[in-house]
Amino acid sequence: MRCPDPEAGKTAAAGGFMPDTGTIVMCQQWAAEQPGEVPNTVAHEMIHAYDDARARLDWTNLVHHACTEIRAANLSGDCSFWREVNRANVSPLRVAKAGERCVRRRAQISVAMNPACTSERAAEAAVDQATTHHHRDTLPRRLRLQTSSWRSRR
């Protein structure tokens, strides 16, 4: 899919999960320019698909959107230390909590792009509300461990 160019000063989307159809789309111009980023982006969008199937998210509810964005940024590798170093978001003076800052930043950017979001402050408030619980939520990664534990108990 060819995605529109972002407005001046806005972040371009690399892809997205379309809840109405349950599909994941990738922006072709971005994927062609950043082929090494495609696996992480697909993983990010698959976490949204998983969350939508598991929790039946209301995508117009900014807190719901923030929850899945926090999980996707946290679990997909979007906010790994070296990715943040490559983005120049980590310096020797700003190493502590770099991952948490990244998760919040990326979640706020995505929530702010939601048509239901009225302002950057509304996006920030939704992320604030969702952060406490979802930063520690590691499903679906935990499912594999639980499944293997269940099998060993049989």
Residue 86 Cα to chain centre, angstroms: 18
3-state secondary structure of 24: strand
Rounded Cα gap, residues 145 and 151, in angstroms? 10
Could you give the residue numbers annotated as active site? 45
Closest CA to 4 of 38, 35, 27: 27
